[in-house]
Chains A and B, each alone.
Chain A
Amino acid sequence: NAGVTQTPKFQVLKTGQSMTLQCAQDMNHEYMSWYRQDPGMGLRLIHYSVGAGITDQGEVPNGYNVSRSTTEDFPLRLLSAAPSQTSVYFCASSYRDDTQYFGPGTRLTVL
C-alpha cells in the first residue's frame, strides 16, 4: 500500500494564479481531510469529506474548493492564490473517528 500520496511536493505560485493539490489514498478510507500547517498554529482543518460526493467546510475554508468524486481522490483547489495561503498542506484519511494517516505534504509559496 502506498498509503496517502500528495503531489506536488513543492509549488511556487504568483498571486492570483490557481492550482490543484492532489491527494490520493489506497486504504479505502471513507474520511479524507485537508489541513494547513503554519508556524505556531498547529494544523487547521480546511475541508473534509465523509465519503464520495460529500464534503464540508472546516475551520479555514475561504479561498479553497474541494470535491470528492471517488473514494480514493480528494483534490484541493486554490481559486486565486494569495500570499496568506503560503503554507504546508497535508492531506489525511481515516476510517471514521479512528487514526488519521497523513500524506507527506505540499509546501506552497505564493509570491
Chain B
Amino acid sequence: AQSVTQLDSQVPVFEEAPVELRCNYSSSVSVYLFWYVQYPNQGLQLLLKYLSGSTLVKGINGFEAEFNKSQTSFHLRKPSVHISDTAEYFCAVSDRGSTLGRLYFGRGTQLTVWP
C-alpha cells in the first residue's frame, strides 16, 4: 500500500516570501503524483500533477513541484506567495497503470499567508 507524508501540518509565511510544502511518499511501484488545493469551505482543486517526463512540473497560480525519485519526494514551491494562497494543500499519489483508480492522500498542510 502507498503512504504519503506531508512533513508540516502548518506553514505560516509573510506575503511575497517564498514557500516550500514538503511531501514524501513510499511505494513499491511507479507512481503518479498530485498536489491539490482546498480553499475554505470548498472542494479540492488540482494544482499540478506529475505523470511522466520532466521532473519539474508547473501548475496553476505560479506553483511548481519537483519529483525526486531517489528521495521519493514531491515538494511544492512558490517563489512569492499572496494572501489569496492561504488554503490547505494536499499531496496525493496513485499507482501508475493501476486499474483501481485509487488516490492516497497526505494529511494536508495549512498554508497561511500574513500581510
Binding site for B on A (CB under 8 A): 30-31, 33, 35, 40-45, 48, 50, 56, 58, 90, 92, 94, 96-105
29 residue pairs of the A-B complex, CB under 8 angstroms, read A31-B101, A33-B101, A35-B105, A40-B9, A42-B90, A42-B107, A43-B90, A43-B103, A44-B105, A45-B102, A45-B103, A48-B100, A48-B102, A50-B101, A94-B101, A96-B98, A97-B95, A97-B98, A97-B101, A98-B49, A100-B34, A101-B46, A102-B44, A102-B45, A103-B43, A104-B42, A104-B43, A105-B42, A105-B43
Give min CB distance, A70 to chain B, whole Å: 17
Residues of A within 8 A of B99 (CB): 50, 96
Interface size on B, residues (CB 8 A): 27
- CB-CB nearest in chain B for A43: B105
Q: Are A99 and B44 in contact (CB under 8 A)?
A: no
Q: Which of B85-115 contact A (CB under 8 A)?
A: 90, 94-103, 105-108
Residues of A within 8 A of B106 (CB): 42
Q: Is B32 an interface residue (CB 8 A)?
A: yes
Majority DSSP secondary structure for residues of B touching A: loop
Residues of B within 8 A of A50 (CB): 99-101
Residues of A within 8 A of B100 (CB): 48, 50, 56, 97
- CB-CB nearest in chain B for A90: B43
Q: Is B83 an interface residue (CB 8 A)?
A: no
Residues of A within 8 A of B42 (CB): 104-105
A-B interface, 9 closest residue pairs, ranked by CB to CB distance from nearest: A31-B101, A42-B107, A102-B43, A102-B44, A42-B105, A43-B105, A104-B43, A97-B94, A97-B98
Residues of B within 8 A of A90 (CB): 43-44
**In whole angstroms, what is the CA distance A50 to B100 when docked?**
6
Q: Which of B12-67 contact A (CB under 8 A)?
A: 32, 34, 36, 42-46, 49, 51
Q: Are B103 and A33 in contact (CB under 8 A)?
A: yes
Residues of B within 8 A of A44 (CB): 105
